Amino acid sequence: MITSTANAQVKELIKLMKKSRVREEAGVFLVEGPRMAGELLEDPAWQDRIERVYLSESYAARHAEETEDISRKCRMEIMADAVFAHVSDTKTPQGIMVVVKRCEYDLEDILGNETGESHVIVLDNLQDPGNLGTIFRTAEAAGVTGILLSRDCVDIYNPKVIRSTMGAVFRLPFLYVDDLPGTIGELKQAGITTYAAHLEGKRSYDQENYLKGTAFLIGNEGNGLRDKVAACADCRIRIPMQGKAESLNAAVAAAVLMFEVSRQRRN
Amino acid sequence: MITSTANAQVKELIKLMKKSRVREEAGVFLVEGPRMAGELLEDPAWQDRIERVYLSESYAARHAEETEDISRKCRMEIMADAVFAHVSDTKTPQGIMVVVKRCEYDLEDILGNETGESHVIVLDNLQDPGNLGTIFRTAEAAGVTGILLSRDCVDIYNPKVIRSTMGAVFRLPFLYVDDLPGTIGELKQAGITTYAAHLEGKRSYDQENYLKGTAFLIGNEGNGLRDKVAACADCRIRIPMQGKAESLNAAVAAAVLMFEVSRQRRN
């Protein structure tokens, strides 16, 4: 059992928890809590990617059978409760944390099985962890095939983002790209119509037909899409707004667009 | 100028900032930041409700003309920067804070001018400040006429909620009620059709007609609507979800429903 916060694994975990760069160099991410960790442990594809499972002493004592089962399937360590709390990213640590190898996706994964049915969300410099998590969660429910992110978006592997995806991050393909305009060009070559969500869009989002391959470009919370990204789109659309509202939250705007696709394709 | 955190006004402000009950007893709320405070100062109806404006010393120095103007229109106090930072709810205080008298609404305000066009959001035990703020912001944009809240919802006057409404809280009528089922009964008597957003809803939300008076009941983030509240609705609807998503974020679900009303009424 790990009983000291000076332990090398503990120090490494804290770096992985706090530093995006360290996570990326190691090619892993951290998942906390019984619900999200349980999902990885029960999914054969993800189980193979688990590098190590950490349990708090009291969690292991409360869940003897599960602990036994985990120790057979994965490399596992028990930590004194105080050490676990020291590592945990949450105020009330739930006693289970998993280090997992990342899954790498490519553009084909993002497009889904049939590019005629692709439904892609493209995020340009999105910064808020809660928004990114909510967009993943919503996207899975709306039947999005994959998510593209500019390299300067917030890190999806940020522990707060992971939690707020409610597991969608394990199931929805995504890809960070250096050259977002270039990648949007590839979408267009694949026959996908690209729509920029833009306050100055001339056409209302619900006047378009999304039955064929569709991608929405969503911009930064404060500044919207960068000009060079918006310029790539086939069409600028807006969500009509009443009152004195000047804009919508980025995750809300994305949700309204994604569920309009879902609605049209269902009907 | 107020130079000490021991000043009686400073102590009172901190209580108003932190305690929902103190704010309620005083019948006021606090608004921070130049954008939101500016909106109150420029709106004649709200200007009359301003009890006091607090500026940090450096804000007043940087905005001499505005400071002069505020001091003519309202009771104003300057605070040393360190004292202002002590009172502020934000990490990087922007130097302006306003204490405002609350505006009281009744059920007629919530229903709007024509009950045939009412568009009401009813929140049952919503707990997350960010969700409540986002729902207000989205609701204004979607043409909602007013918001009803069960008494045990998070306090709309929480400074974090106020900020995340982006000003919609100043413009959209809302009402906390003790007896939510009773109030839903009043909506029905006014001819408004009430829809419970429910994971077990039989009908898809986009199969309904929202051209006449419409109210949506939205439940708690973790538990959904309480049974006794859901039971009041004319109809249970669901938002169809793909993948393994089990639910949507409450603010996202509300947004999808509100913008479907907006879409139908526009077309």
pLDDT tens for residues B211-247?
999 999 999 999 999 999 999 999 999 999 999 989 9
List A residues 79-108 in contact with B (Cβ-Cβ < 8 A): none
B55 and B120 part of one domain: no
Question: How far apart, in whole angstroms, are the C-alpha atoms of residue B78 and residue B31?
Answer: 16
B25 to chain A, minimum CA–CA distance in Å? 30
pLDDT tens for residues B95-131?
999 999 999 999 999 999 988 899 999 999 999 999 9
Looking at A101, A117, A151, which one is the last position of a domain? Answer: A101
Q: Is A224 contained in some domain?
A: yes
Closest Cβ–Cβ partner in A171, A243, A259 for B140: A243
pLDDT at A267 > cutoff 90? no
pLDDT tens for residues B10-60?
999 999 999 999 999 999 999 999 999 999 999 999 999 999 999 999 999
pLDDT in the model for residue A115: 83
- Domains: count for chain B: 2
CB pairs under 8 A between A and B: 98
More reliable by pLDDT, B201 or A115:
B201
Best mutation target, B256, B261, B262, B267, to test chain A (most A CBs within 10 A): B256
pLDDT, chain A, mean: 96
pLDDT at A2 > cutoff 90? yes
Contact B137 A243 (CB under 8 A): no
The reply to whether B130 touches chain A by the CB within 8 Å rule is yes
B173 and B71 part of one domain: no
pLDDT at B267 > cutoff 90? no
pLDDT tens for residues B159-175?
999 999 999 999 999 99
Q: Is A3 contained in some domain?
A: no
- Domain containing B56: what range? 8-101
Secondary structure (DSSP) of chain B: -B--TTSHHHHHHHHHHH-HHHHHHHTEEEEESHHHHHHHHH-HHHHTTEEEEEEEHHHHHHTHHHHHHHHHHS-EEEE-HHHHHHH-SSSS--SEEEEEEPPP--HHHHH-S-GGG-EEEEESS---HHHHHHHHHHHHHTT--EEEEETTSPPTTSHHHHHHTTTHHHHS-EEEES-HHHHHHHHHHTT-EEEEE-TT-SEEGGGS--SS-EEEEE-BTTTBS-HHHHTTSSEEEE----TT-----HHHHHHHHHHHHHHHHH-
A249 to chain B, minimum CA–CA distance in Å? 7
A140 and A27 part of one domain: no
Please report residues of A whose CB lies closer than 8 A to that of B171: 243-244
pLDDT in the model for residue A50: 97
Q: Label each residue of B56-118 as H, E or C.
A: EHHHHHHCHHHHHHHHHHCCEEEECHHHHHHHCCCCCCCCEEEEEECCCCCHHHHHCCCHHHC
pLDDT in the model for residue A86: 95
pLDDT tens for residues B58-96?
999 999 999 999 999 999 999 999 999 999 988 899 999
Tokens encoding A92: 């009330």
pLDDT in the model for residue A22: 96
pLDDT tens for residues A52-109?
999 999 999 999 999 999 999 999 999 999 999 999 988 899 999 999 999 999 999 9
A200 and A159 part of one domain: yes
pLDDT, chain B, mean: 96
Question: How far apart, in whole angstroms, are the C-alpha atoms of residue A95 and residue A56?
Answer: 5
The reply to whether B204 touches chain A by the CB within 8 Å rule is yes
B247 and B121 part of one domain: yes
Under 8 Å CB-to-CB from B19, ≥6 apart: which residues?
Answer: none
Looking at A101, A119, A146, which one is the last position of a domain? Answer: A101
Q: Is A2 contained in some domain?
A: no
The reply to whether B199 touches chain A by the CB within 8 Å rule is no
CA-to-CA separations, B256 to A244, A257, A260, in angstroms, rounded: 20, 9, 9
Contact B141 A267 (CB under 8 A): no
Q: Is B1 contained in some domain?
A: no
Query: Which CATH number fits the domain that encloses residue B91?
Result: 3.30.1330.30
CB atoms inside a 10 Å sphere around CB B118: 22
Tell me what ipTM this predicted complex has. 0.94
Q: Is B27 left (phi over 0), alpha (psi -120 to 50) or beta?
A: left
Contact A243 B138 (CB under 8 A): no
A233 to chain B, minimum CA–CA distance in Å? 23
B96 and B111 part of one domain: no
Among candidates B125, B103, B121, which has minimal Cα distance to B112?
Answer: B121
Tokens encoding B237: 């609807």
pLDDT tens for residues A149-192?
999 999 999 999 999 999 999 999 999 999 999 999 999 999 99
Please report residues of B whose CB lies closer than 8 A to that of A244: 140, 167, 171
CB atoms inside a 10 Å sphere around CB A246: 11
B141 and B176 part of one domain: yes
Instruction: Specify the pTM.
Output: 0.94
Closest Cβ–Cβ partner in B141, B247, B263 for A242: B141
User: What residue has token string 């999808």?
Assistant: B256
Looking at A47, A76, A101, which one is the last position of a domain? Answer: A101
A138 and A259 part of one domain: yes
